[in-house]
Structure 1
């Protein structure tokens, strides 16, 4: 997932980078804990995140030792990285409580859509760079005979349109994006799992259909076997997050 913060900062979860939109190509690489911190902040903008939650989700859940010192150090480092691009203070500290991310505006962009857009732009640039002054005019204006047949041209074009998104999505499924796996799509909802295990994709889709209409574009994150506080049992958690970040995510618990 790609997040654009205050129309100035582009945060790419897959690459773990921060980039100035006005200065593309000069990206800052974040370490894993900083990426996980920022991912929590951008998904909970303008909400106070408790220190305990950050320690659990950034370190404990990954089998790492969580300390207040680690948290403070990574928050400071993340502040410095953000300040290189946007001088506004984006992370507010609440002593002995936690932290709040206070961006004025955050927009989400699906990673697959961003890759497709990038490929289209690069393709357009390559077309512009091609030079053909040395070819005879006859060669420029006369395509091969098979290409003159309209039905074949249409079939070839349609095949590219249909096959490319499939290959792109399959490639994306094989890449670990901070332990996030793309499980497919239900209506207008893209489905992702965190540390995938447990339910099969069809079972997950069935649960989603019972809880969400997916009439609007959204991402749904599936967490398997999460321990509920105060209860001895485990549950699977579904987080429904509309692409409109002004709308809060909804959580649904399904007992394991």
Structure 2
């Protein structure tokens, strides 16, 4: 059994793993206490959960010593994990003097079955000549497609362009880049679209990110904001996009 949070994030309780529903290569593993907390929030999403209830079901029932510090630490871990995978709105709501509420959509789905392996066992081996014929036909089709694509590109003079990000400014721990060429945006407009319409301003005080911004509208009339965690080895990891209306 696994769960889809806000149609974006997949949670597998058995492996304690959160990942993007459409891109499972981007994932992270929760600690035991954070995983148990998320499971309680999912089972009771939309309901107010008191601190006493959470302390009992996450720590006491497992023979562990409960404390408010442990609870707040687990809540913070789950919030950061969900935020790093692209859900920027607050889904774990703090209810003063009461506890917490999981405010989001949750879809429960059965465990995936590898039907391809099951079907492959039922397929009888074909003759060697037939297999060679199929392989030759596939290779011929691939070669024909490559040649056709090359001729089409050359005949139309299609040129693939690349864009080199231009550094606009450094805000706290974040580097702000423009993807437009030339970079003609006013800084005020860029900062308004990045910081006033997202929660990245607070994130930049805690974590280092490379933020890539483009003011060129797509066919859906959306701008582009790409956010990548900046590691010590100067390599972007854990990237996600934010739609800018």
- Structure-2-length-normalised TM-score: 0.48
TM-score of the superposition, structure 1-length normalised? 0.46
